[in-house]
Amino acid sequence: MSGARIVAYDVLRDVVDRDAYANLALASRIRTARLDSRDAGLATELAAGTLRGLGRIDRIIELAAGRQAAEIDPVALNVLRLGAHQLLSMRTAAHAAVHESVELQRRVGNERAAGFVNGVLREIGRATPEEWDERIVAEAKTPDDALAARASHPAWVLRALRDALRAEGREAEIEALLDTNNASPRVNLALLEGAGITSQELAAVEPDLFDAVCVSAIGLELLGGDPARAMATAEEQASVPAGLLRVQDQGSQLAALALVRATPVAEGERWLDLCAGPGGKTAILGAEALVEGATVRANEVSEHRADLVRDSVSGVDALPGEAIEVVSHDGREEEAFGCGPGGHELYDRILVDAPCSGLGALRRRPEARWRKQPGDLPELTALQAELLDAAAAHLKPGGVLAYVTCSPHLAETRVGVDRALKRHPELRELDAKAAVRAAAREDEQPELAGEQLSAQLWPHRHGTDAMFVSLLTRES
């Protein structure tokens, strides 16, 4: 029995049955099993690929088994999911996929179900993936149900993504977006200000490790291998200070940089990252602030995540210890802004990277699409509005507030911004598209659609998570 398959099964069980995060479960299980790089790659593809394709896989299992997925023993269902993924989407030989799955069932579950697993997988193997997709479409109740099942997205998520594209006049791109969400992305890295070398120069020094064909001016793509080893090589071979090269999606990079590029920075400015955990954007702001003569306060409501922020910024050799103040308070309360009794602190720039549905990061968090429900949105949007209101009250006249979500859902993006502007007539929206372009490479300017001043990034169009950025300024 392959160790990689055991790890993949354990991860799938952890995620589906115990609500674990796939990336954390994978790292832990791979480390515990001591898999070599080849088996670690196989385990990752088995687990992450199965989670991305879960909706389509489950529908094909249902058609092949003649029963609903909910009626199948949970252990056997997870074994079938891994086997079906190998048959439908990997180059694993059919006989090997079936045999290994049967042996896996015997090891982790009821041995009497091994025959059921064998029969269902053999039935799946009798048709091509394209033929199974045709059956999915033929037996779906609506076109949306057919597309959702075939593209492995919940139908409500599909409709939300299409609505966001329609707002830009790009509804026809929905299938391209869904396909991109189901593709494994390259690891993105950010090279922070102060490295003494640009991302393009670093890629030229280490062409076997990095590619600088990126939209972010500080971005790099890892060509393969272990990110930690690649970052260590950059520190050793290119003298990059420790911590200045870090894993971070380019959309996240652009969102943080847009706040800095929105207007010229004056020395002595005070910046606030209101929802800072886990600290990636905070580190970018800290590096930029050090160059610009500004200071940064980072607030995170969760003590655990505040510790992650501290770890994120303390690991940057170029940042002095006092460069970033990290605190833990509810972002809706005065303590988050450093206000003492009777005091009222104001900031020149505030980043509100609001808690959201995370629908913009489905490539990287494959399990997220199956955990969120439409009923989650009202509570999230209410929290987003309260955080925006609190930040607006602490923004200096002429200051800039960046409202950011890793979601393109209109309820979390334009609807929230438009309502905030109605609540706060003292606020005016700035051109976030121009600020994002200023944060991008000159030769890789992102195409940002729509008539609104806000900027929406897309995985299929920009190679980033679907980050939304709106910039607001206070006029009085």
- List, by residue number, the catalytic residues: 406
Name the residue among 360, 353, 450, 365 with its Cα closest to residue 26. Answer: 365
- Measured distance CA(450)–CA(417) in Å, rounded: 15
Q: Would the annotation count 330 as a binding residue? A: yes
Name the residue among 16, 50, 363 with its Cα closest to residue 182. Answer: 363
Q: Would the annotation count 440 as a binding residue? A: no
Q: Would the annotation count 281 as a binding residue? A: yes
Q: Would the annotation count 275 as a binding residue? A: yes
Return the SS3 of 456.
strand
User: If residue 247 lies in a helix (H) or strand (E), which one and from where to where?
Assistant: strand 245-247
Q: Would the annotation count 276 as a binding residue? A: yes
- Measured distance CA(430)–CA(453) in Å, rounded: 7
Buried/exposed code over 363-398 (b: 16+ C-beta within 10 A; e: otherwise): bbbbbbbbebeeeebeebbebbbebbebbbebbbee
Name the residue among 385, 377, 413, 381 with its Cα closest to residue 156. Answer: 377
Q: Would the annotation count 339 as a binding residue? A: no
Q: Would the annotation count 277 as a binding residue? A: yes
Q: Which one-letter amino acid corresponds to residue 322?
A: E
Q: Would the annotation count 335 as a binding residue? A: no
Q: Would the annotation count 208 as a binding residue? A: no
Q: Would the annotation count 225 as a binding residue? A: no
- Measured distance CA(105)–CA(435) in Å, rounded: 54
- Measured distance CA(356)–CA(415) in Å, rounded: 14
Structure tokens at 45: 């593809």
Q: Which one-letter amino acid corresponds to residue 316?
A: V
User: If residue 399 lies in a helix (H) or strand (E), which one and from where to where?
Assistant: strand 395-405
- Measured distance CA(136)–CA(394) in Å, rounded: 53
Q: What are the binding residues for S-adenosyl-L-methionine?
A: 275-281, 300, 330, 353
